[in-house]
Amino acid sequence: MAGQGRAESAQEADKRWRILDAALGVFAEYGVHGTAVPPIARQAGVAVGTLYRYFASKEQLVNAVFRETKALLGERLLSGLDLSSGDVRRLFEQIWERLVGFAREEPAAFRFLEMQDHAGYLDASSRQQENTLLGPLRELIHAGQQNGVLNSGIRPEVAIALFWGGVVGLFKADKHGYLELAETDTRDAREACWRALAAPAVEQA
């Protein structure tokens, strides 16, 4: 009986993962508001009633997808980084390259996270997940401003928006055919973003 229970638990976990994976793909392609539950269930290979057994509503499902995907992004961006090293330029470059790598390797996850309509349905737990990722970035920017490497006249939230928006804009333009994104383009954009955020004396050095 114990073995049977373990097998059932593994099956349940696999089914839940299939639902989350299917929802991520469908949400990324069609948006949250443009997506009904039945197409997600079909993509996951489960009945609609089965999906609702795991997630009581579409809002609960999209919040679960958001938290799982945001946690994956946080792991990819921050794992192994020594944010207290004081080498702000190096950390800036590493985080930029990791975000670019995530956008290339996990395009559905990247598109889903950068949708503009999240605010209307995110619950408190999802918002906390967002802050878990943004908190270390704010601290890094604040430290860089305190030691004179980053421009102290730019609020940390604005600096994050410029940094993040630079990467998002590149991949959005690539997806819609406005440019064919090359490796040199992402490096050039990274350097332009650094110059926009660096303290004037550092930018000129």
CATH 1.10.357.10 in the chain, residue ranges: 64-204
Three-state SS string over 137-194 comes to HHHHHHHHHHCCCECCCCCHHHHHHHHHHHHHHHHHHHHCCCCCCCHHHHHHHHHHHH
Q: Which residues pair with 150 in a beta bridge?
A: 198
pLDDT at 133: 87
Query: Residue 34 — very low, low, confident or very high, per pLDDT cuts 50/70/90?
Result: confident
Say if residue 176's pLDDT is above 90.
no
Place of tokens 């991520």: 24
| Per-residue pLDDT at 12 | 84
pLDDT at 8: 53
Mean model confidence pLDDT for the chain? 89
* Beta carbons within 10 angstroms of residue 41's beta carbon: 20
Q: What is the mean pLDDT of residues 74-99?
A: 90
Q: What is the pLDDT of residue 100?
A: 95
Q: How far apart are CA 187 and CA 193, in angstroms?
A: 10
How confident is residue 106, by pLDDT bands cut at 50, 70 and 90? very high
Q: How confident is the model at residue 194 (pLDDT cuts 50, 70, 90)?
A: very high
CB 68 within 8 Å of CB 18: no
CATH homologous superfamily of 1-56: Homeodomain-like (1.10.10.60)
Residue 5: what pLDDT? 46
Q: Provide the pLDDT for residue 84.
A: 79
- Kindly state the average pLDDT of the residues 58-67: 94
CA 133, 148, 94, 171 torsion-angle sign: positive
**Architecture (CATH level 2) of domain 64-204:** Orthogonal Bundle (1.10)
Average pLDDT over residues 94-114: 94
Residue 2 has pLDDT above 50, yes or no: no
Band the pLDDT of 86: cuts 50, 70, 90.
Answer: confident
- The pLDDT value recorded for residue 203 is 52
CA distance 166 to 170: 6
Within the chain, which residue ranges are assigned CATH 1.10.10.60?
Answer: 1-56
